[in-house]
Amino acid sequence: MEGLEFSGFVGIISLLVILLPLLSFLLILAGQKGRGADLALINISLTFILSVYLFSLLWNKQPFHYQIPWFLIGGIEFKAGILLNNLTVLMMILVSGISVLVHIYSRIYMKGDPNIHRYWAYLGLFCFSMLGLVISDNLLLIYLFWELVGFSSFLLIGFWFTRHAASQAAQKAFIMNRIGDIGFLLGIMIIFSQFQTLDISALFGDNGLMKESRISEGLWISGSRQIPEVWLSIAGIAFFMGAMAKSAQFPLHTWLPDAMEGPTSVSSLIHAATMVAAGVFLIARVYPVFDPFVLNIMVCIGAFTAFMAATIALTQNDIKRILAYSTISQLGFMVMALGIGAYSESIFHLATHAFFKCLLFLAAGSVIHQLHHYRDKLGLDFDCQDIRIMGGLRKGMPIAFIGMCLASAALIGLPLSSGYLSKDAILITAFEWAETRNGIFKILPYLLVLTSWLTAFYISRLVFKVFLAQPKLISREQTEQIKDAPNQMSYVLIILAFFCSFIAFSYNPASFESSWLWNGFSSASIQKVNIYHWLVPLILNIGSLGLLFTTYKIYVKSDGISIPDRNLLYRFSKREWYLNEIYSYLFTVPVEKFSRACYWFDRNFIDALVLKSASLVGVLSGITYWFDRTLVDGLVNATGTLAKWIGRFSRNFQTGKLQHYLITMLLVVLSFFILTYFI
Amino acid sequence: MLSLLIFLPLVAALLILVLPSRFQQQYKYITLGVSLIQFVLSLFIYLKFNSSSLAAGISKESQYQLVEKLPWIRLNLGNIGSLEIDYFLGIDGLSMPFLILSALVTFVATLASWEIKTKLKAYFSLFLLLNTAVIGVFCALDFFLFYIFYELMLLPLYFLIGIWGGIRREYAAIKFFLYTLFGSVFMLLVIIGLYFSVINPATGNHTFNMILMMDPANYSYGSIFSAIADKNLFGISARLLAFIVLFVAFAIKVPIVPLHTWLPDAHVEAPTPVSIILAGLLLKVGGYGIIRICYSIFPDAAMQSAWWIGLIGVVSILYGALNALAQTDLKRLIAYSSVSHMGFVLLGIASSTTEGVSGAMLQMISHGGLSAMLFFLVGMIYDRVHDREIANFRGLAEIMPQFTAFVIIAFFASLGLPGFSAFMAEAFSLIGAFTSEQVNGLLPRWMAVAASIGILLSAAYFLWTLQRMFFGQTRLKGGEEWLSKLSDVNTREKFALIPLAALALALGIFPSLLFDKMNASVLAFVQLISG
């Protein structure tokens, strides 16, 4: 691992990994429209190959860190660099691998779209930002890519921008994420003002500044800087807020279901497998910043989100919406796991979830795609995403069916699946953790068990309704005409199906401790053996299997359950806990009203004040004008008039008669003498 | 060199005045040529600029670059010494970036002037005169000279808005004129007060030299603005009062809430190129003045008022953003967004930290480019169909894809998408404001937190506009007629838009392009004001 040459080499490869997708973005937008699909696929494949290479080079090795100066402010130099550790290289192959598959899939799925080149370009931008996010070595760079991820997601959700719902959803997603971003930015401000650096390894490394900072007498001290202790918790909450928005945690999750307006392939890549994992990734990267208080919040939010999303998924009828809520629920599991300190379990679940959720979406995508074709062929009119109109598709679409089943098994956590390993790992750790806690934390693991059972119910409801139940709209014969999607799409499903089994992650189907992935993050090498390790999976799976059987009875053998629409709980779930309405009532509408009030104030008060003072000046000038005309000018005129008057008066003396002059002279001389006499 | 930069447009303006009117189609090419030469010159200055700490400038005359100092007015006044006004130009890291910005914005504004069809001779000579004044302001180091350039800006602007503007142009022009004049009249009093307080140690005369005004040692004891004597005027410290007067004068230009109401009216009525100059350069004169004059000459008063200036910044950010959210006229929306974005400049300056001041400087350059771009884009729609009401457009993305691409770039860059300059600028203004409490105790932390909500609001109004005007099914108020008129971006417009987008992108990814050049000056500035 030594030598400058080596580090330069790895650095260049990592740069290539992120720059290749950017290259396809630039080239396609610069005019390579026709070759967009090939260009994008070639670049992302190269990225994947290089990522695998880096993975083989660096997995379980010394972390690789390489940086160059970026800019200078005052005495502080900001550096840009690459930090590759286990977490990074894992995310790299995960992101690029799933991207490759989705690229292949999209070639068929998006075929015929008039703006397809933009689709490839945006995908490139997304891969660039996502990969950049994972390899960045400082918070500022992460933030940069973090928002770029949000931006490319905005573009992709709104890909069909002529549809009102799509552009609305894109806007909502970006703004919701912006709320989280502000948290992230606040976190950056706090960290920077405390440590004067944003370098992750300097901050959060083994002997990092974070570890060396201490808390005493209500102050959080690092070197010469200090700040009240509360800001440590605020920093934690701030970073967590960023993660909450991106990883769709309550209360910032409502954008994700709406984001399903984008193409399904996008939902699968971005809103199921990769981007939403960015929040979990961020928490993992800045983990040392969270104090126990924030970790507890994280546990509660995670567990609550998992539960809430599962209850909503129970009653949704849009196939993608169910999957979206399922994603939110699973992300809740991951966040909760991070909160209880189950770092490796969480990352493990992140990886397994990426594959099975991607598969669920892509399988759903092929159903939608084929229904679409069928609908257009026959000129029918129905909603291709509504599971109520589907049914009996198993015969015609075996690959989608099997793929969906395997992925669902993993989602439920049935034995032999990948989900069994990772999800049960989280649950077991949760029980172990709760043993040492009191109060509400004691019941959280049970909430998770309940959530898992709900998961089993909603996902089997979906599978049964789509593939096994009686066809609703069309006859069984017609249904069978709906065939599996073209091979290219099906191959992708098959590859993903492989990653839903335990084999890809562990040689032992029953123990997550033997998984290479889990071991890559776990520092504890001792096998913890206690009763939970067999009891929890046992109870979980018995419950799940029982539920599977029940749903089978309900949706395949009979005609489903009829719940009266008036049922309060049903409506609560169906309307997604009324959160959209509540937010609109609490935030959107008041802000809009407030902004209008501000504008009214601006026009009618501030500007009016200016205009009033202007008219005041006008009035003043009117007064001065009057003063000028009547008094000043009047005085002048009066002087003139007076002079005239005197002149006129004295003209009277100029009579030309000598006697008058004599009399005047006499009077003057006389008065002179009289005056001198008296004075 | 600087004189060349300043007076080249003036020469061109004279040339246009003497050229017969039958060449009037050539006027715009002359103007364009001038702005290109200016751009090349300023680029050359940028490249040759010495950014070492020995050339930081600020309060040390010897450290200024490209200095031109000639005695201009010398009048023997008997026993009060002799009147000493110099023709004194020079730049440091805080003024050099504005030269490039001026040249670039002028270039874009010239390209936008293609749409001006009447009274070309008057238009282009006034336009060039304005350009002279703006660059002069950024280079002048003698307060008297500064004031002349500063006032010289008003005259052409008044006519440019008043003659070539929209329907209520006279109202807007006079409002703008009186507003700014109000500020600068009182500024003149302070200038005179400063003149009688400061003595040039070399000659023993009173002086208008700004750099000498920054050194407390040059104030004659007992003079009105002497820091040691600390005289009172109307019950408050004379220096504080002078600071407030100067601050108000420049803050009107920035503009701050509540002295901003001239801006929406002026923008809405001004023709596109004037809006571009107004937002791109004139507002920056305000920010530059606060840094160069208010803070540098009265640092003690500035420290005293930091809390209030920070508060004004935060209020401007939030209030401007909320007002923008309520707009139905696209140009007015962008005008209010300017108020909001310039608030970050105040906040950054008020923090008096290197991060904050660097952020504020970057924000000025960044906003200069981006607001020019935004107003240019609005102008493009307005020139085509003479309407800018947001509700009258829908689904423009389908009929004008390239135009929409530029709008998306400009909007996202303005709302602070990382990778563009505004993000770096706003982030560092905020970081500076947040750090301030720990470094110098000037601003409380909540200000930075509150200001960051402005970033959220800016995303809201820009995205909402995008969604309302550009996405969805195409539906135009003017129907088919508009559809044929709304042609996509043409080559001339691309020449204007691409450099601006490139500037935003370049500064967003490599902020060192700017930070490295001005770092020494920022450090010297922070050192000067925090004493």
Which pLDDT tens digit goes with each residue over A83-128? 888 888 888 888 888 999 888 888 888 888 888 888 888 988 999 9
Q: Which residues of B touch A596 (CB under 8 A)?
A: 326
Nearest to B302 by CA among B519, B528, B61: B528
Q: Are residues A363 and A497 in the same domain?
A: yes
Q: Are residues A542 and A592 in the same domain?
A: no
For range A33-39, the mean pLDDT: 79
Q: Residue B319: which of A174, A598, A609 has the nearest Cβ?
A: A598
In this prediction, residue B288 has a pLDDT band, given cuts at 50, 70 and 90, of very high
Residue A199 included in any domain: no
Across the interface, do A74 and B395 touch by the CB < 8 Å criterion? no
Across the interface, do A144 and B455 touch by the CB < 8 Å criterion? no
In this prediction, residue A473 has a pLDDT band, given cuts at 50, 70 and 90, of low
Mean pLDDT lowest among A110-124, A481-495, A609-623, B483-497: A481-495
B294-313 per-position pLDDT tens digit: 999 999 888 989 999 999 99
Structure tokens belonging to residue B402: 């390239």
Q: Are residues A634 and A493 in the same domain?
A: no
- Averaged pLDDT of chain A: 84
Is pLDDT at B431 greater than 80 in this prediction?
yes
Residue A248 included in any domain: no
Specify the higher pLDDT residue, B409 or A223: B409
Across the interface, do A147 and B258 touch by the CB < 8 Å criterion? no
Across the interface, do A73 and B467 touch by the CB < 8 Å criterion? no
Distance CA A402, CA A122 (A): 31
Q: How many residues make up chain A in this entry?
A: 679
Across the interface, do A606 and B261 touch by the CB < 8 Å criterion? yes
For range A437-455, the mean pLDDT: 86
Q: Are residues A64 and A85 in the same domain?
A: yes
Residue A596 included in any domain: yes
Q: Residue B512: which of A70, A178, A591 has the nearest Cβ?
A: A70
Q: What single-letter amino acid sits at A173? A: A
Across the interface, do A599 and B431 touch by the CB < 8 Å criterion? no
Q: Are residues A555 and A610 in the same domain?
A: no
Across the interface, do B459 and A178 touch by the CB < 8 Å criterion? yes
Is pLDDT at A559 greater than 80 in this prediction?
no
State what percent of residues in chain A have pLDDT above 70. Answer: 96
Q: What is the pLDDT of residue B430?
A: 93
Residue A373 included in any domain: yes
A64-73 and A76-84 strand pairing: antiparallel
Is pLDDT at B264 greater than 50 in this prediction?
yes
A396-427 per-position pLDDT tens digit: 888 888 888 889 988 888 888 888 888 888 88
Across the interface, do B449 and A162 touch by the CB < 8 Å criterion? no
Distance CA B365, CA B277 (A): 13
Distance CA A496, CA A489 (A): 11
At how many degrees (to 10) do helices A532-551 and A418-435 cross?
Answer: 130
Across the interface, do A72 and B434 touch by the CB < 8 Å criterion? no
Q: Are residues A646 and A564 in the same domain?
A: no
- Give the count of beta carbons closer than 10 Å to the beta carbon of residue A539: 14
- Averaged pLDDT of chain B: 88
Residue A550 included in any domain: yes
Q: Is A587 on the interface with B (CB under 8 A)?
A: no
Across the interface, do B515 and A171 touch by the CB < 8 Å criterion? no
In this prediction, residue A563 has a pLDDT band, given cuts at 50, 70 and 90, of low
Helix (H/G/I), strand (E/B), else coil: B232: strand
Is pLDDT at B243 greater than 50 in this prediction?
yes
Point out the domain boundary residue: A77, A105, A137.
A137
Distance CA A415, CA A510 (A): 7
State what percent of residues in chain B have pLDDT above 90. Answer: 39
Q: Which residues of B touch A192 (CB under 8 A)?
A: 355, 431, 434-435
Q: Residue B418: which of A143, A231, A596 has the nearest Cβ?
A: A143
Residue A448: partners with Cβ closer than 8 Å, 6 or more residues away: A303, A306, A307, A333, A336, A426, A427, A430
A244-271 per-position pLDDT tens digit: 999 889 888 889 988 888 888 888 888 8
Residue in chain A nearest B172 by alpha carbon: A611
B339-394 per-position pLDDT tens digit: 999 999 999 999 999 999 999 999 999 999 999 999 999 998 988 888 888 888 88
Q: Which residues of B touch A227 (CB under 8 A)?
A: 438
Q: Which residues of A touch B526 (CB under 8 A)?
A: 74
Structure tokens belonging to residue B113: 């002037």
Residue A356 included in any domain: yes
In this prediction, residue B37 has a pLDDT band, given cuts at 50, 70 and 90, of very high
Specify the higher pLDDT residue, A35 or A583: A583
Q: Residue B326: which of A74, A226, A596 has the nearest Cβ?
A: A596
> Is A62 in contact with A108 (CB distance < 8 Å)?
no
Q: Tell me the shortest Cα–Cα distance from B102 to chain A, in angstroms.
A: 24
Residue in chain A nearest B354 by alpha carbon: A74
Q: Residue B434: which of A161, A193, A606 has the nearest Cβ?
A: A193
Q: Which residues of B touch A144 (CB under 8 A)?
A: 418-419, 423
Q: Domain range holding A19? A: 1-137
Across the interface, do B455 and A178 touch by the CB < 8 Å criterion? yes
Residue A530 included in any domain: yes
Distance CA A345, CA A427 (A): 9
Q: Are residues A507 and A529 in the same domain?
A: yes
In this prediction, residue A560 has a pLDDT band, given cuts at 50, 70 and 90, of low
Domain count, chain A: 3
Is pLDDT at A614 greater than 60 in this prediction?
yes
Question: Could you tell me which residues are beta bridge partners of residue B70?
Answer: B87
Q: Tell me the shortest Cα–Cα distance from B375 to chain A, in angstroms.
A: 21
Q: Are residues A370 and A488 in the same domain?
A: yes
Point out the domain boundary residue: A553, A574, A595.
A574
Q: Are residues A405 and A524 in the same domain?
A: yes
Across the interface, do A595 and B523 touch by the CB < 8 Å criterion? no
Q: What is the pLDDT of residue A528?
A: 60
Is pLDDT at B66 greater than 50 in this prediction?
yes
Q: Are residues A25 and A122 in the same domain?
A: yes
Across the interface, do A171 and B430 touch by the CB < 8 Å criterion? no
Across the interface, do A189 and B431 touch by the CB < 8 Å criterion? yes
A642-659 per-position pLDDT tens digit: 999 988 888 777 777 888
Q: Are residues A422 and A570 in the same domain?
A: yes
**Measured in whole angstroms, how far is the alpha carbon of residue B113 from the centre of its chain?**
20
Q: Are residues A587 and A570 in the same domain?
A: no
Q: What is the pLDDT of residue A527?
A: 55
Is pLDDT at A26 greater than 90 in this prediction?
no
Q: How many residues make up chain B in this entry?
A: 531
Point out the domain boundary residue: A120, A137, A154.
A137
Question: Could you tell me which residues are beta bridge partners of residue A81?
Answer: A67
The model's pTM:
0.90
For range A304-311, the mean pLDDT: 91
Structure tokens belonging to residue A414: 């049935």
> Is A94 in contact with A117 (CB distance < 8 Å)?
no
State what percent of residues in chain B have pLDDT above 70. Answer: 99
Q: What is the pLDDT of residue A427?
A: 87
The predicted complex's ipTM stands at 0.91
Q: What single-letter amino acid sits at A112? A: G
Residue A188 included in any domain: no
Q: What is the pLDDT of residue A1?
A: 43
Q: Is A188 on the interface with B (CB under 8 A)?
A: yes
Distance CA A94, CA A97 (A): 5
Residue with tokens 């006229």: B329
Q: Residue A144: which of B419, B434, B452 has the nearest Cβ?
A: B419
